[in-house]
Amino acid sequence: MSDIRYLLDENVHPLYRQELLRREPLMVVWRVGDVSAPPESTLDPEILAWCENHAFVLVTNNRKSIPPHLQNHLAQGQHVPGIFVMNADMSIGETIEELLLIWGASDAAEYHDTIWFLPVSS
């Protein structure tokens, strides 16, 4: 079983979580707005801090503000388990397959303090 846990930001459609868990029920996939996750409308810097404190890799479609927020976060001596930025040119199915591949074939330490733009398997 993988040690990668995903936090989907609030702008990622809930279908992604449903499909990930349908395909791999042992996977841990939370979404911003869930009871134990950051509430909706949480600012990006706070989401990064939450991911650091709870060891969740962030999955987002926010290509503009997340990279500079990550730079600021790291510059302050903080860390993140990793960030995956979704690709608008990938279908839902392709994105699901990519996240399943990452979860099943890698270790969380591989993504520590980095941002990856999907697909990473290309």
> pLDDT digits over 53-104, tens only?
999 999 999 999 999 999 999 999 999 999 999 999 999 999 999 999 999 9
38 has pLDDT over 90:
yes
Which pLDDT score, from 0 to 100, does residue 2 have? 80
26-41: b or e for each residue (b if 16 or more CB lie within 10 Å)? ebbbbbbeeeebbeee
How far is C-alpha 71 from the geometric centre of its chain's CA atoms? 16
Domain parsing of the chain, residue ranges? 5-117
Residue located via tokens 């846990």? 5
Domain 5-117 coded CATH 3.30.70: no
Separation between Cα atoms, residue 20 and residue 97, nearest integer Å:
9
Which pLDDT score, from 0 to 100, does residue 1 have? 65
Chain-wide mean pLDDT for the chain? 95
Measured between alpha carbons, how far apart are the two ends of the chain, in Å?
24
